[in-house]
Amino acid sequence: MSTAKITPSATALSTTIKHLTCNLNLQNHACVRTLFTGAAYPTRTLRRTGFTVSMSAAAATEPVEVCVKASVTTPNKLGDCPFSQRVLLTLEEKHLPYDVKLVDFANKPDWFLQISPEGKVPVLKLEDTWIPDSDVITQAIEEKFPEPPLATPPEKASAGSKIFSKFIGFLRSKDPSDGTEKALLDELSAFNDYLKENGPLINGTEVSAADLSLGPKLYHLEISLGHYKNWSVPDSLTYLKSYMKAIFSLESFIKTRAQPEDVIEGWRPKVEG
Ligand SMILES: N[C@@H](CCC(=O)N[C@@H](CS)C(=O)NCC(=O)O)C(=O)O
């Protein structure tokens, strides 16, 4: 893979961005549609170095195919899977072009079940092999496309990793005194303390893989606990609040996030079941 760093004028920059983002591909299948060919605005590089654009692998690489969950509320929109968003965020932050295939979960097509026998998303194709599981996929992307590096140092990689399971416990709980709210608050407080020491992001000032995993989960937490429990992250957790705001404001996040109504529908069976 070749990496070219260029410092274009404002005109050249906008041309570059147009080149990377304008290639729409609306291919129809019975139950799936290729939504768009994505390639990120090089936001991380722009923020760090002004008008320096890292072309990285984007210009030279064929779009990567990735299957994700389709919206249940709006045709041809991304659905509410946080693991799928994690993979899309990784592709965006690596400035890699990709083709999204939206899978209708109410009617999973045979070709998808052949790729993913468990019927799970995300799955991503690398070198003619379909890879399941966001942990494995993001690791494979990091190895094949090391620039820009996103790996979180091992000693920091588990920061905030227990929040998701505690969030689900509280969301499903029907007994206000069963301790699930406190268990979640304890994890959120511990992560707030971690950010105070190490932040503003998990690996300091640079976005890294652990942020791209945790960010979508915190987004689900905020929307679903707000909707089903009228609950929000306490204002006293200022470092966590700032963290969520920073991650949710990334261009890559805005481009790949689920619609709130899909997040709400996605969690309904867990809440009502
Ligand atoms: N450990 C997997 C979890 C993937 C997962 O659970 N995906 C869900 C959607 S968010 C799924 O495909 N579930 C199958 C179904 O609900 O039919 C990963 O990290 O990719």
**Nearest partner of 216 among 115, 122, 108, judged by Cα:** 122
Instruction: Examine the domain organization and report whether 103 and 188 are in the same domain.
Output: no
Distances in Å between the alpha carbon of 147 and those of 4, 95, 112, 154, 272?
A: 11, 9, 30, 18, 44
Instruction: Examine the domain organization and report whether 133 and 235 are in the same domain.
Output: no
Structural domain includes residue 157: no
Q: In this structure, are residues 88 and 23 in contact, taking their beta carbons and an 8 Å threshold?
A: no
The overall average pLDDT reported for the chain is 83
Domain membership of residue 197 as a residue range: 163-272
Query: Ligand 1 atom 9: the closest Cα is on which residue?
Result: 81
Instruction: Examine the domain organization and report whether 248 and 128 are in the same domain.
Output: no
More confident residue, 54 or 214: 214
Q: Buried b / exposed e across 73-104, counting CB within 10 Å, b at 16+?
A: beeeebbbbbbbbbbbbbbbbbbbbbbbbbbb
CATH number, domain at 213?
Answer: 1.20.1050.10
- Ligand 1 centroid to 223 CA: how many Å? 19
pLDDT score of 232 more than 90: yes
105 CA closest ligand 1 atom index: 17
CA atoms within 13 A on the CB side of 55: 16
At 273 the pLDDT is 84
- In the residue annotation, 81 being an active-site residue is answered as yes
Q: Which of 121, 220, 268 to mutate to test the pocket of ligand 1 (most atoms within 8 A of CB)?
A: 121
pLDDT score of 132 more than 80: yes
pLDDT score of 229 more than 80: yes
Structural domain includes residue 150: no
At 243 the pLDDT is 98
At 28 the pLDDT is 30
116 CA closest ligand 1 atom index: 12
- The one catalytic residue in 22, 31, 67, 81 is 81
- Ligand 1 centroid to 71 CA: how many Å? 14
Number of domains in the chain: 2
Confidence category of residue 29, pLDDT binned at 50, 70, 90: very low
Instruction: Examine the domain organization and report whether 11 and 139 are in the same domain.
Output: yes
Q: In this structure, are residues 88 and 48 in contact, taking their beta carbons and an 8 Å threshold?
A: no
- Ligand 1 centroid to 103 CA: how many Å? 12
From the centroid of its chain, how far is CA 87? 6
Instruction: Examine the domain organization and report whether 10 and 127 are in the same domain.
Output: yes
More confident residue, 58 or 202: 202
At 61 the pLDDT is 77
107: how many CB neighbours lie within 10 A of its CB?
9
CATH number, domain at 57?
Answer: 3.40.30.10
SS3 of 252, please? helix
Instruction: Examine the domain organization and report whether 127 and 248 are in the same domain.
Output: no
CA dihedral 147, 126, 156, 82 (to 10 degrees): 120
Tokens of 115: 């790729």
Instruction: Over range 194-203, report the average pLDDT.
Output: 98
Predicted confidence (pLDDT) per residue in 59-116, tens digit: 557 999 999 999 999 999 999 999 999 999 999 999 999 999 999 999 999 999 999 9
pLDDT score of 26 more than 80: no
